[in-house]
Chain A
Amino acid sequence: MSGNIKVSNGSKYVLPVTPQFQNGPLPLRIIGGDDRFQIQDTTVFPWSTVVRIEGQFTSNDFFLCSGWMLGQSTVVTAGHCVYNFATSKTYAYNVKITPAYNSAAQNPSPFGSCQALQGIVLTPWFFNGDIGYDYGVYKIGCRIGTQTGNLGFKTISSDGVGTSVALTGYPGDKGGSTMWASLGSITSSNTNSFYYNNDMVGGQSGGPVWDFADPNCNLCVVAVNANEFDPPTMNQGARIENTAFNFLLSSQQFIANQVFLPSILNQ
């Protein structure tokens, strides 16, 4: 994995990995305007790397989030989809990860599902609920990433303002069972956050925000979608800066012991 790292213009990249069972990445076909649009075929890379996450923080606190495949057995999502700092101060459990979920398809779970083995957040989120560190990682008990492929990730050395970004996830107002994407650009930033004008609603937390116009890597995530504001003038994502980069790079190395593929079990 680390062999995919490259540096260009002060930005660090970890390139995406295409699925082992497909012929290679297909070009992003952006249709529609700057509004959200539904991904019809979620099985096609890179959409196959976007995951739907279900879990619970307490016996009566269930949640739905989005995320993206980081490696063969690792998933990135928002920190508040791993550890509930706001209310219960508990980690999620009974967490089920389903890549490319699409309730409108004949097979809603084309790659099957995996249970999370371990949820990890960073100390600024765990202790302070710092939205600049509102990201986390799930280690999962299968190697589903070999089928879905995984996105890359990168740092942006500049303030990133004006960068075109795509946002993908499972919005709750669409039932949380279909994948949607939206296009936009970064409007402001600070050390640990990017703010952008992409449309989003609850359920898309943890979804990837990627710079689709970067010629070096048009499938590299620059932020983890995390928070919306009221009034909805902008949305916020936890920026992949050096700390996040190192954390994701370290987490990416985990590979589950399980050798069989989940789709074989679930189909």
Chain B
Amino acid sequence: MQKNLSLKIKMRTIAMIVAIIFLGATINLTYGQNNSGDVPLPTSTAKPPNGNNQAYPPPMENTSETNLNSAYPPPSVTNTPIVIPTSAPIPKDRIVAISNTGEIIDFNVEASFCPEILKSLMVLNMYYR
């Protein structure tokens, strides 16, 4: 009876050892496969998705969305036309007038009639004599 009991204990011990060995082999196999790189491993340093040395997560750029947080409603963009002060060139070949308002007055330019108008005026003058 004691032999049978002793045998049972041995059998159980052996079974436990076998079970432990089996479990250990299983765990060892699992870690061996992880080292192949197919499954992501927890790392202490985060890496960017593209694998370069930039900090991760990447710094946010100053977008309009970011600015929206500073003021609501968002400041409107006024498209003010840029007015470039221009001054007409002062003719050098003739005398012109200059006013205190910056106006250049070329009083030398005389109005002239086009030939068609002159012709019609001549006809009128001939009629109304």
Contact = CB atoms under 8 A, between A and B. Distances in A.
Interface of A: 82-83, 91-93, 118-124, 126, 133, 137, 243, 246-247, 249-251
Contacts of A93: 100
Contact of B99 (A119, A133, A246, A250): A119
Given A246-B107, A247-B107, A250-B105, A123 B99 contact: no
Interface in B84-101: 90, 95-101
Given A123-B90, A123-B95, A243-B95, A118 B100 contact: yes
Nearest to B97: A120
B103 interface: yes
Contacts of A124: 95
B117 to A, nearest CB: 17
Contacts of A123: 90, 95-98
Nearest to B98: A126
Interface of B: 90, 95-101, 103, 105, 107-108
B108 A120 contact: no
Q: Is the interface of B mostly helix, strand, loop or mixed?
A: loop
15 contacts: A82-B100, A91-B100, A118-B99, A118-B103, A119-B99, A120-B98, A120-B105, A121-B97, A122-B95, A122-B96, A122-B97, A133-B95, A246-B108, A249-B107, A250-B105
Q: What 8 A-B pairs come out closest when comparing CB atoms?
A: A91-B100, A250-B107, A120-B99, A119-B100, A120-B97, A118-B99, A247-B107, A126-B98
A134 to B, nearest CB: 13
A126 B95 CA distance: 11
A123 B99 CA distance: 10
A67 to B, nearest CB: 16
A117 to B, nearest CB: 9
Contacts of B99: 118-120
Counting chain B CB atoms within 10 Å of each CB, which of A122, A123, A126 scores highest? Answer: A123
A220 to B, nearest CB: 19
